[in-house]
Structure 1
């Protein structure tokens, strides 16, 4: 798995909480909505367990997860309100970890590029871009460089809880 081999993982997500940080309830709601969209029965519970199990890597030293999300992702009604409340609590519990940096681009913040699809950068060698029905794996220097610049511009617009942003 790419996330196990990499030491610096950067992510951008504009529409929902990044999968690596999702609670089981939030992940279940996401997987159920995708199963409905694709009109196919998926093993939602196996997918939820796999997603949550992958999160143990957040607690291992030697990696940094630098994640930037648009504030809209924190409000999107992709799950019931009580599940979203638990998800937001989970995110606040990650603040201050030495392996996770969580930045939020506030609604209305000036951005140097329009928020687009979610993507991950694995070190400086791979970009994985997410779409409704597929992932695009890019490993050529030019393409990875484009996503590094996009991530940098969104990162510049982000505020980081507890880091002189007024958020705690």
Structure 2
């Protein structure tokens, strides 16, 4: 469990304690609250001290017991803010990569404008089948997860149909390093670079390449994807983070725009892709 996750759970517990102690009918003891809610005696203490994550039903029973039903939406928002957004790869990949692809595809489907950045890997929404196959195989080995590679590849490629939806816009930045990283066989990377070159000029996609050696306003870090200024998805080695608070989304948008200032587009991007392609030969 991440430190941020635990701190958020402890903060929620402190808020629950505050509501119990400020009950309109007088402060309620933990024992009385447990009896009123039909719980064991230790549950109130565990919830208040961040030792147990409440369910939405737990929160509803709590606000009813302390006579403060108006606090339910606030508590539920706090719960959603940390419980659903730290998505451990170990848990997600227990059923393989395909369900993960289907979940993120649903977010793309409801997004009109997507801002994306990847520093060292070709983004999934732009990958060829051969490149995606190598990526899924490497990650399955790393996480020791179910190998459903071919299903996952098909799911990823189905998402790419959205690139041709005239109602959508994809604003994507990719580090030049991604054009040369051999996470796949050279022949697969060659095909991937041809695919990238073919997307430049598509009216729904604005693809920028950040050259190696470009002057940077901020240091590039891991990839992130912003959906309609309502959600940011960030991948780390251990988990996928889904962030939906306004301040954080604004920060990632500022980050994207700062990175964009270092990117090249159009013919200049084509030239970088062509240079990487020629370096592969064949």
Aligned to 2:149: 44
Q: Secondary structure at the match of 2:261?
A: helix
Higher helix share: 2
- Structure 2 Cα separation of the partners of residues 23 and 134 of structure 1: 24
- Structure 1 Cα separation of the partners of residues 270 and 133 of structure 2: 28
Within 5 Å, which residues of 2 pair with 1:4-153? Answer: 4-153=109-258
Higher strand share: 1
- Structure 2 Cα separation of the partners of residues 53 and 17 of structure 1: 17
Structure 1 stretches of at least 4 aligned residues deviating more than 3 Å after TM superposition: 165-168
Give the gaps of 5 or more residues in structure 1.
Answer: none
- Structure 1 Cα separation of the partners of residues 184 and 140 of structure 2: 14
Q: Can you list the C-alpha shifts for 1:78-136, whole angstroms capped at 9, x where unaligned?
A: 00000000000000010110000100000000111111111100111111111123210
Q: Can you list the C-alpha shifts for 1:126-153, whole angstroms capped at 9, x where unaligned?
A: 1111112321001101110111111111
Q: How far 1:2 sits from its partner (Å)? A: 1.4
Aligned to 1:160: 265
Q: How far 1:166 sits from its partner (Å)? A: 7.4
Query: TM-score, normalised on structure 1?
Result: 0.95
Rg larger in structure? 2
Contact 2:112–2:167 (Cα < 8 Å) also in 1:
yes
1:160–1:8 distance in 2 versus 1, CA, 3 Å: same
Query: TM-score, normalised on structure 2?
Result: 0.57
What is the number of equivalent residue pairs in this alignment? 166
Higher relative contact order (CA 8 A, sep 6+): 1
Root-mean-square deviation (Å): 1.1
Q: How far 1:65 sits from its partner (Å)? A: 0.3
